[in-house]
Amino acid sequence: MNALHRADIWRSAFPRLTFLPLIEAALAILAILLFSQALLGPLLVDPLRPDAAEALRLVWLPVYGVTLILIAMRPLAFLETAFRAWPLVLLAVLAGLSTFWSIDPDITSRRALALAMTTLFGLWLASRFDWKSLLTILAVSFAILMIGSAIAGALVPGFGVMQQIHPGAWRGLWWEKNTLGAMMGWAVLAFVGAAAFDAKRRMIWLALVVPALALVLLSTSRTALLASFIAIAGPGMIAMARRDAASSAIAVMAGVVGVSLGILVLVIGPGVLLEALGRDATFTGRTDIWEALFRQIATRPLLGFGYGVFWQVELGPAHWVRLETSWPVPTAHNGWIETALATGLIGVGIALIAYAGALGSAALRLFRGNETYWALPFLVMWGLISFSESNLAEQNSLMWVMFTATAAKLAQPREAAP
């Protein structure tokens, strides 16, 4: 395949993009691969001490620089998007301001800057690309990660397959199996979302769902398997809702009941779901952690302890949580609690506004717009995962990039149908 033919394929995938925008799309894909923490993370970083790797920290500097240059190329579109997505901007600003009351200002200032740049990149994606191009960029990025993980697991099992803990479970290009499972769960939804916009390549995108699901199974992550089910069932129910009145009523009621039961189980009785997922009723010890953390939050309820610092000060408040739980707890394992620790209930309130606004906008588009096939299942998955993982306002995190881009796109006026 010669270079000219490859360029033709690339232009056909992004038909509205000329040479310079093609460079922007390529840079977006490269940045997304970096934000996924694939390969570089396991090689350069201890997952319990992400600030300790100077080499990885240097990797982010050019990413941040390129992000600022890309924003400067189209500042008015970016500013309009940022204005419409003001809760996301305000949350990043609050994280930066928390340096003034942080229990370790140096760590907070460094991580708050990283969060700001991560948020800026997500906002730039939303301001620069229409829904079709954005979802194609995400799908291409996940296809690369999927292929790389398959190669790592099949050809380099010493790296791509876990050896000591959970032996035999695939971890692909990441630290451990659950991350591979989560990434491939998002990949399934990205492929379905791209297929909704690209009728010419729809079968190709849908075919990629199969190897992504295979990697979810090889990761043995049951949570990722549940997320993959939502990634497939969600768009299916949206399509069903758009068929006729009877189908719409069934799909909407099933969706409302399913999400409500999921929230009820997670908030009131997580043991039922966790037993089904092969975990104990204490959420693998998480409920004990949460009880200890609530007591710490009560000491600084409004503004928290400073962004990204609670778990980094060994003799700080985290010390008492670890003593109480008799375990070296690394995170809150809950996005909302982590936000309360970082920026207090004020930060939680801003995050709730951002999430509720995006979810409401996606729900209002249930019966129109192909973007709903991605946005609504994504936000449901993201919201459910936030109860068990620290996925909210994470610096240098692909999940936060995707949330920011999705929420910001939903805050924009709807695009005209092609």
CA distance 113 to 182: 26
Name the one residue in this structure whose structure tokens are 């609690």. 337
CA atoms 33, 38, 43, 48: torsion sign: positive
- Give 46's strand partners: 49
What is the residue-wise DSSP string for 171-227? -TTSSSHHHHHHHHHHHHHHHHHHHHH-STTHHHHHHTHHHHHHHHHHHT-HHHHHH
* Predicted local distance difference test score (pLDDT) of residue 275: 47
Helix axes 105-128, 75-84, angle to 10 degrees: 110
* Predicted local distance difference test score (pLDDT) of residue 177: 86
> By three-state DSSP, how is residue 144 classified?
helix
Model's pTM, two decimal places?
Answer: 0.87
The residues, any chain, with a CB within 8 Å of residue 257's CB and separated by 6 or more, are none
* Predicted local distance difference test score (pLDDT) of residue 164: 76
Backbone angles phi, psi at 282, to 5 degrees: -95, 15
CA distance 352 to 344: 13
* Predicted local distance difference test score (pLDDT) of residue 14: 55
The residue type of 322 is: R
The residues, any chain, with a CB within 8 Å of residue 325's CB and separated by 6 or more, are 285, 288, 289, 292
CB 344 within 8 A of CB 303: yes
> By three-state DSSP, how is residue 81 classified?
helix
> By three-state DSSP, how is residue 161 classified?
strand
Torsion of CA 200, 202, 204, 208, to 10 degrees: 160
Ordered mean pLDDT values, 10 residues apiece, the chain (418 residues): 55 60 92 90 60 66 94 95 96 97 94 96 96 96 96 89 82 87 93 92 94 92 82 85 67 63 53 47 63 92 94 86 84 90 96 95 87 93 82 91 97 70
- 129, 175, 156, 113: which is closest to 32 by C-alpha? 129
Backbone angles phi, psi at 119, to 5 degrees: -65, -40
CA distance 35 to 122: 11
152: burial class by Cβ within 10 Å (0-12, 13-18, 19+)?
A: buried
Cβ neighbours of 12 (radius 10 Å): 10
